[in-house]
Structure 1
């Protein structure tokens, strides 16, 4: 069940191999395990994708692809999961990351109004930057760990269910 569900939402390998930003990986993209979906590659891919989704940086897909290659996990799943933080969800998720980081550092969360300017970014980096980055790291590690455990257990239980249904005599 998890394999069919995951495959339904996975991007096609050829589209990722042809992606202009992923061309820098060259022949590394031709490693077969990067494209197979199995009990080892799926949980690792979820961990990589969910962790990178919380990293506040441009080109998250490239970072997810690099980590997928490094850890030899499913590349399409890793790359697809970074889209959890998309332009619609990013403000909400990053605000939560700031709140978590402020709580962990013992800071009182400050009110701020976002401005799309370099001056605002430079001024805010010193005040809201440390709690925000800590919150992103903590939530990234937490969601990666939880995602790994959930997918690993789902995979295990679906295999057990298939084996049990096979061993039952036909009615």
Structure 2
């Protein structure tokens, strides 16, 4: 994984620690092990972030931060990945999770009315919640495992590619020196 690319977009820990709204987390933000960019920390960050993003609960970012601390994952990546479920994508993702949960529980899925309202959602919540929880957990676990494996494979491929390029450069420089 291109470490320089990730470092370019990550905020500096000292900048975050100075923000008034994050002062209570100063000890967590200042922990240097949560800012390391290694294959393990980035892969774990993807697991934690994707898992937290699929949970249909408030405070997903706080859960991702706690998960990053527990899993020794990269904190900014874990918290940033939660924004996969932003206000634009959240309804589609959670509706898909609900449909998956309804299918897994072998219950008929509720059809969305032409005019969706919060009142309709509140009335249907008792019926929707079990399927949404099951579908969200299955999706969260599957994405966490898949994300971890994909990042580890990409990282390994990138390192292998850079080693081969380095070997080619050394070989060509040795051949030039021999001439």
Which is worse superposed, 80-89 or 57-66?
A: 57-66
Structure 2: runs of 5 or more not aligned = 174-179
Q: What is the total number of aligned residue pairs between the two structures?
A: 169
CA displacement at 1:36 relative to structure 2:
1.4
Q: TM-score, normalised by structure 1?
A: 0.88
1:121-148 Cα offsets, whole Å, 9 max, x none, are: 3x32320110011111000111111100
Describe how 1:130-145 pairs up with structure 2 within 5 A.
130-145=130-145
CA contact (8 A) 1:101 1:132 kept: yes
- Corresponding residue of 1:109: 109
Partner of 2:172: 170
Alpha-carbon contact 1:49-1:77 (below 8 Å) kept: yes
Confirm or deny: 8 A CA contact 2:13 2:29 kept in the other structure. Answer: no
Q: How far did 1:120 drift?
A: 4.4
Structure 2 length-normalised TM: 0.84
**Structure 1: 5+ residue stretches without partners:** none
Describe the superposition over 1:60-90 as per-residue Cα deviations: whole angstroms up to 9, x where unpaired: 1111111111111100000100000000000
The aligned runs of 1:18-97 (5 Å cut-off) are 18=18, 22-97=22-97
Hey, what's the Cα distance between the residues in 2 that align with 1:9 and 1:44? 18
Higher helix fraction: Structure 1 or Structure 2? 2
- The 1:8–1:112 alpha-carbon spacing in structure 2 relative to 1, beyond 3 Å, is same
RMSD: 2.0
Separation in structure 1 between the aligned mates of residue 55 and residue 11 of structure 2, nearest angstrom: 21
8 Å CA contact retained: 2:14, 2:30: no
Whole-angstrom CA distance in 2 between matches of 1:106 and 1:21: 45
